[in-house]
């Protein structure tokens, strides 16, 4: 063995921890595992999945995430560059997952193209439409006294909104909704995956048709932005646009749905907290939203590849090594979040990492917050006494990509519907969306 | 008290403007933050301190 080999194995042995997020029982043991890792080895080496670093300490996650000079998001399945494996461990995406799995400068060009559609100002324009979709979704079940918060609300609203922002017909939401959720919720080796592949094919066909149509006749939205984007001096081909759209669909649908379901479950278990949040929402809604984000961290982490030998936060890394940045564990770091395992709806200084850190900060964050708050406040107003049936709650079998819920069933005091049915509502909203060009880009105000 | 937002570090998380809307303005296009005015009014100093602590990128400094 060379001196280098010895120090390499020392480096990893000293920080060794057997870490497997996909193992049965991980979700239940999350709190305990987090404490252990943060105490013993906030940057740990695990031999699982080909060997990778696991970063659980907030400072360490912070330091590494921002070092884009030596840390790469690249996913290069065809080995055209350095064969890096992107943001999942094990590598779950067969193709490059859009601009999330790219590095600057291309990554920056994508974001510049899409920013005007997803900024805080852009998100604010969608609030009336979002509120109306929420109204209609709740109306569908309000008279029955029974709801599945996942199926009947949290899965629908983000899907409709994401399609609207993309410039896709919002009535098509069912085509996208189930398969995208299934894509994220179905474990990698599951027998359900072949059927899923078929459904994804249908989505991709639909996206390709929308792109072709958009090239002929411009329609405002993210698709239009991608069609017209200049990325590294070139226009994007259909395959690249589809990859970006699938990323946006995965980002737009599951994560907000997961946050909403978890928050509603939490509040359902604590009627006094729920009442307090409802009464004091003017002062509490924002901080409560950030606290739910921190505690539930729907997109629990992302992988990186070290692109050059370096030392960060006291650990030496070698080029090519894989690193799992756990936003979820960083969000439980007691040195940043006192009493981290307690949900404090009024928490201050809540600088959580749930939308990531650094240049890949989730572009959907403004839309996510707006949509979540719209759903939450409507539930507090119209189903204030909902009672969850814990035996009917179903979490995702795997938390590999997003920590979500399949079913969250509850009963509540029935009430009257207040508006038109969902299908009719979506048709009316589509007209409004098209007439007002809601999906067009925000432009900078002249000061 | 003056606010300085490091434009290299700001990634548009918007938590500063959420906590202290009178002190921070957000760019319409990318949601990045900048200080509204040169000086922080005395009544807003607590909000300013909390906004600093709320930034996930630690991009805000006070002087």
Could you tell me which CATH class the domain B3-62 is placed in?
alpha beta
The pLDDT value recorded for residue A178 is 83
B38 half-sphere exposure, CB direction, 13 A CA radius = 0
CB contact (8 A) between residue A349 and residue B14:
no
The pLDDT value recorded for residue A400 is 64
For A264, residues 6+ apart whose C-beta sits below 8 A from its C-beta are A149, A154, A376, A379, A386, A388, A408, A410
- Residue in B17, B26, B54 closest to A351 by CB: B54
- Tell me how far apart the alpha carbons of residues A360 and A429 are, in angstroms, rounded to a whole number: 32
The pLDDT value recorded for residue A4 is 56
**Domain assignment of residue A117, yes or no:** yes
Closest CA to A37 of A21, A55, A53: A55
Q: In CATH, what number is assigned to the domain containing residue A383?
A: 1.10.630.10
Residue from A112, A361, A362, A370 to probe the interface with B (highest B Cβ count within 10 Å): A361
DSSP string across A71-89: EE--B-TT-SSS--BTT-S
What 3-state DSSP class applies to B63? coil
How far the first Cα of chain A sits from its last, in Å, is: 66
- Residue in B13, B28, B31 closest to A444 by CB: B28
Window A:420-439, CB contacts with B under 8 Å: none
- Residue in B30, B53, B58 closest to A119 by CB: B30
Q: Are A326 and A30 in contact, with CB atoms under 8 Å apart? A: no
For A129, residues 6+ apart whose C-beta sits below 8 A from its C-beta are A161, A164, A429, A432, A433, A438
Q: Are A21 and A399 in contact, with CB atoms under 8 Å apart? A: yes
Residue from B6, B10, B11, B49 to probe the interface with A (highest A Cβ count within 10 Å): B11
What 3-state DSSP class applies to A307? coil
For A197, residues 6+ apart whose C-beta sits below 8 A from its C-beta are none
Query: What's the CA dihedral at A417, A423, A425, A427 to 10 degrees?
Result: -170
CB contact (8 A) between residue A358 and residue B57:
yes
A335 touches B at CB < 8 Å: no
**Domain assignment of residue A394, yes or no:** yes
pLDDT digits (tens, 9 = 90+) for B24-55: 999 999 999 999 988 999 999 999 999 999 99
Average pLDDT over residues A251-266: 94
B14 touches A at CB < 8 Å: yes
Instruction: Indicate if the pLDDT at residue A447 is higher than 70.
Output: no
A416 touches B at CB < 8 Å: no
* Phi/psi of residue A33, nearest 5 degrees: -65, -40
Instruction: Indicate if the pLDDT at residue A13 is higher than 90.
Output: no
pLDDT digits (tens, 9 = 90+) for A199-212: 888 899 999 999 99
Instruction: Indicate if the pLDDT at residue A445 is higher than 80.
Output: no
- CA A86-A90-A92 angle, to 5 degrees, is 65
Q: Are A101 and A93 in contact, with CB atoms under 8 Å apart? A: yes
The beta strand positions in A232-328, using DSSP E, are: 301-306, 310-312, 315-317, 322-326
Closest CA to A206 of A174, A236, A234, A161: A174
pLDDT digits (tens, 9 = 90+) for A48-60: 999 999 999 999 9
Work out the minimum CA distance from B9 to partner chain A, whole angstroms. 8
**What pTM was computed for the model?**
0.96
The pLDDT value recorded for residue A373 is 98
In chain A, the percentage of residues whose pLDDT exceeds 70 is 96
- Residue in B9, B19, B31 closest to A119 by CB: B31
What 3-state DSSP class applies to A55? strand
pLDDT digits (tens, 9 = 90+) for A340-361: 999 999 999 999 999 999 999 9
The pLDDT value recorded for residue A444 is 80
**Domain assignment of residue A441, yes or no:** no
ipTM greater than 0.90, yes or no?
A: yes
**Domain assignment of residue A444, yes or no:** no
SS3 content of chain A, % helix, strand, coil (to 5): 55, 10, 35
For A355, residues 6+ apart whose C-beta sits below 8 A from its C-beta are A293, A361, A362, A365, A368, B13, B56
3-state SS record for A415-433: CCCCCCCHHHHHHHHHHHH
In chain A, the percentage of residues whose pLDDT exceeds 90 is 82
Instruction: Indicate if the pLDDT at residue A432 is higher than 70.
Output: yes
**Domain assignment of residue A386, yes or no:** yes
CB contact (8 A) between residue A350 and residue B15:
yes
**Domain assignment of residue A445, yes or no:** no
* Number of domains forming the structure of chain A: 1
- Tell me how far apart the alpha carbons of residues A93 and A85 are, in angstroms, rounded to a whole number: 9
Q: Considering Cα of A235, then A241, then A247, then A252, what sign does the dihedral take?
A: positive
**Domain assignment of residue A446, yes or no:** no
Q: Which residue range forms the structural domain that includes residue A207?
A: 3-436
Average pLDDT over residues A138-143: 98
Place A331 in a pLDDT band, splitting at 50, 70 and 90: very high
Which residue in chain A is spatially nearest to B48 when comparing CA positions?
Answer: A349
CB contact (8 A) between residue A351 and residue B27:
no
What number of C-beta contacts closer than 8 Å exist between A and B?
70
**Domain assignment of residue A442, yes or no:** no
Is A149 or A313 the better-scoring residue by pLDDT? Answer: A149
Indicate the domain borders of chain B: 3-62
Q: Which residues of B touch A366 (CB under 8 A)?
A: 14, 31
- Tell me how far apart the alpha carbons of residues A182 and A284 are, in angstroms, rounded to a whole number: 33
**CB-neighbour burial class of residue A105 (10 A; exposed 0-12, middle 13-18, buried 19+):** exposed
Average pLDDT over residues A168-190: 85
């Amino acid at each position: 063995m060379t001196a280098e080999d010895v120090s390499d194995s020392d480096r990893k042995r000293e920080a060794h921890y057997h870490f497997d997020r996909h193992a049965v029982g991980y979700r239940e043991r999350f709190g305990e595992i987090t404490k252990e890792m943060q105490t013993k080895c906030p940057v740990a080496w695990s031999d699982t999945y080909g060997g990778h670093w696991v970063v659980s300490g907030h400072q360490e996650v912070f330091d590494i995430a921002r070092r884009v000079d030596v840390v790469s998001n690249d996913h290069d399945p065809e080995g055209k560059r350095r064969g890096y494996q992107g943001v999942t461990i094990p590598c779950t995406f067969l193709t490059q997952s859009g601009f999330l799995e790219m590095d600057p400068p291309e990554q920056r060009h994508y974001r510049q193209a899409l920013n005007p559609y997803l900024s805080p100002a852009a998100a604010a324009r969608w609030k009336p439409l979002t509120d109306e979709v929420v109204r209609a979704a709740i109306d569908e079940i309000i008279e029955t006294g029974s709801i599945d918060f996942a199926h009947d609300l949290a899965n629908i609203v983000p899907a409709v909104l994401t399609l609207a922002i993309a410039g896709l017909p919002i009535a098509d939401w069912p085509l996208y909704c189930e398969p995208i959720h299934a894509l994220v919720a179905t474990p990698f080796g599951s027998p359900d995956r072949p059927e899923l592949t078929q459904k994804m094919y249908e989505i991709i066909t639909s996206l390709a048709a929308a792109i072709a149509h958009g090239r002929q006749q411009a329609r405002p939205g993210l698709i239009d932005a991608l069609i017209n984007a200049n990325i590294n001096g070139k226009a994007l081909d259909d395959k690249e646009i589809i990859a970006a759209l699938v990323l946006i669909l995965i980002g737009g649908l599951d994560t907000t749905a997961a946050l909403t379901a978890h928050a509603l479950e939490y509040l359902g278990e604590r009627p006094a907290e729920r009442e307090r949040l409802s009464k004091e929402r003017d002062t509490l809604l924002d901080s409560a939203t950030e606290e739910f984000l921190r505690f539930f961290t729907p997109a629990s982490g992302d992988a990186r590849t070290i692109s050059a030998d370096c030392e960060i936060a006291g650990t030496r890394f070698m080029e090519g090594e894989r690193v799992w940045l756990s936003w979820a564990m960083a969000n439980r770091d007691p040195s940043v979040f006192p009493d981290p395992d307690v949900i404090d709806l009024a928490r201050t200084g809540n600088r959580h990492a749930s939308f990531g850190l650094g240049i890949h900060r989730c572009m959907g964050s403004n839309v996510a917050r707006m949509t979540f708050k719209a759903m939450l406040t409507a539930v507090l107003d119209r189903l204030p006494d909902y009672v969850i049936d814990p035996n009917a709650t179903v979490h995702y079998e795997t938390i590999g990509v997003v920590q979500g819920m399949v079913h969250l069933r509850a009963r509540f005091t029935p009430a009257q519907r207040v508006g038109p049915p969902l299908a009719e509502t979506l048709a009316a909203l589509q007209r409004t969306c098209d007439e007002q060009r809601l999906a067009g880009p925000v432009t900078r105000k002249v000061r | 008290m003056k606010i300085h937002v490091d434009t290299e570090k700001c990634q548009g998380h918007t938590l500063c403007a959420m906590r202290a809307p009178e002190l921070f303005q957000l760019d319409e296009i990318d949601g990045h933050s900048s200080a509204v005015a040169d000086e922080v009014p005395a009544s807003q100093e607590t909000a300013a301190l909390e906004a600093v602590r709320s930034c996930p990128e630690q991009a805000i400094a006070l002087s």
